[in-house]
Amino acid sequence: MSDYLEKIKSQISNIQPYRGKYADPIEGDFVVYTGPGQFKVPDKVVLGYIEGDGTGPEVAYAAIKVANAAVEKAYGRARKVLWYEILVGSKAEKILGSRLPEQSVDVLKRVRLFLKAPLETPVGGGFRSLNVTLRQIFDLYANIRPVKYFPGLPSPLKHPEKVDLVIFRENTEDVYMGIEWPWNSPEAAKVREFLRRELNINLRDDAGIGIKPISKFGTQRIARLALKFAVENKRRVVTIMHKGNIQKYTEGAFREWAYETARNEFRDHVVLEEELQQYGGQVPPGKVLVNDRIADNMLQQLLTRTGEYDVILAPNLNGDYVSDEAAGLVGGLGVAPGLDVGDFGMMAEPVHGTAPKYTGKNYVNPTATILALELLFRFMGWREAADLIIKGVSKAYAEGYFTGDLVRQMTEEEKKAVKEVLGTQEFAEKVAELIKEL
Ligand code: NAP
């Protein structure tokens, strides 16, 4: 790590650096899970963090500074985060000889809640994506991506202020499972032969094969999470995004099973679109509307009828498309956070990668990572701290403080509102300062 980053790290008092082998945290307690999705967060909580590769450490420490300011402002001395470094990625390879050492997996399993800055996936050489591996180890089945417009951000929309979405993307099934074979593999030949012989389906001999499984179990556990979020956070609508008109037994089933969860488990809190007639076409006060839209139509409606969308529930591939489209509406990758949630753990991460060409340049936007921690706090139940982070980021933009990636997208007119173009650390420090003043 560069001297510059060592210095930043040494200025953050509540970091517990890696101490050579697994050691219990010096201070603080781990979160305790008492059942699936049920946990208790101690007041002095140990949260893990993976520094990441490339620009990862720059955004990780920037975000930690902001998170610390928010916790201190919200709770004084009553609550504190102890950040516990976990070695994964190229730093782990250098020190421990493996990109995902077993001892790090052990620590992650104790910590359960952690920040992961972006990790590089080396091209070639048979490297598996560590991001995917981490999600699988912890069965983090929901990828949650909020997409919110902050006044001042560049946007291609006429009314970007209408963008306030939270996308729940299923994270373990669908094409993400990667069950596919090249056209000329023995496996593809076997599958084609099976289909021909057993089901009378004739495929061309040069057809590659992919399998897209979507299960009731997988659908309903993420539907439950999205609906619970919508109810608890008083959101307006949950829209099930699917391509069920074509793929009836995967995407169509996703739609059916999600509605079933809404009807069976959230009856008192939701109204389904088909029931609206009973209420004169209006959603009764205090209820969340549950509707569904076909994916292609929805992707264009997000541009033309932006304000109609709120919480979006999607299978893996649709969720991938819609979250990147949505991020593009409010400033792009630099401001797009994510939280991966499972029944026994949560991983906060920015959506972007390691942006290697900017490593050490103090250029990249830390907002995505800052907002990833905001989301983690929200799901931990530390809402006051989460709200302060949103207010701080919002205020920084409103007062004209931006990083270069955002300014680059602005029109000459929009640039007039820019007071200062800040580097990664300076932007985070400005947000932290604004939080303290709130
Ligand atoms: P990337 O790292 O996301 O960067 C692509 C481009 O997006 C950058 O060159 C930059 O655009 C912009 N960008 C990304 N993050 C930014 C930020 N915080 N602030 C400002 N601009 C930002 O994608 P990539 O180049 O395809 O991937 C690089 C490495 O990251 C690969 O090894 C990949 O496997 C890995 N990756 C990891 C994750 C993860 O850990 N979750 C996700 C994606 C990729 P400009 O060049 O236009 O300035």
* 53 catalytic per annotation: no
* Atom in ligand 1 nearest the alpha carbon of residue 59: 18
Give me the long-range contacts of 119-128 (CB less than 8 A, separation at least 24).
Answer: 119/50, 119/52, 119/53, 119/56, 119/88, 119/89, 119/354, 120/53, 120/54, 120/89, 120/90, 120/353, 120/354, 120/356, 127/99
pLDDT mean over 182-187: 95
What is the predicted pLDDT for the residue at 204? 96
Stretch(es) of the chain classified as CATH 3.40.718.10: 1-140+337-438, 156-173+214-329
Topology adopted by domain 156-173+214-329: Isopropylmalate Dehydrogenase (3.40.718)
Most confident of 10-14, 128-132, 152-156, 245-249: 245-249
C-alpha distances in angstroms, 194 versus 115, 184, 187, 249?
45, 16, 10, 20
- Set 7, 24, 296, 361: catalytic member: 296
- Set 18, 49, 149, 176: catalytic member: 176
In this structure, which residue's CA is closest to atom 4 in ligand 1?
A: 355
270 vs 177, which has greater pLDDT?
A: 270
Interval between CA 328 and ligand 1 midpoint (Å): 14
- Set 9, 91, 243, 430: catalytic member: 243
pLDDT mean over 14-24: 75
**Which two structure tokens, joined as six digits, stand for 382?**
């530390």
Ligand 1 pocket check for 174: Cβ under 6 Å = no
At residue 123 the predicted structure's pLDDT band, cuts being 50, 70 and 90, is confident
What is the predicted pLDDT for the residue at 125? 58
Pick the CATH number of 1-140+337-438 from 3.30.1510.10, 3.40.950.10, 3.40.718.10, 3.40.190.10: 3.40.718.10
Ligand 1 pocket check for 340: Cβ under 6 Å = no
- Least confident range from 119-123, 194-198, 329-333: namely 119-123
Interval between CA 354 and ligand 1 midpoint (Å): 5
Ligand 1 pocket check for 364: Cβ under 6 Å = yes
**Which two structure tokens, joined as six digits, stand for 192?**
């084609």
Strand 142-148 versus strand 164-170 pairing type: antiparallel
Ligand 1 pocket check for 62: Cβ under 6 Å = no
> pLDDT tens digits, residue range 382-398?
999 999 999 999 999 99
* Phi, psi (deg, nearest 5) at residue 247: -105, 80
What is the predicted pLDDT for the residue at 56? 97
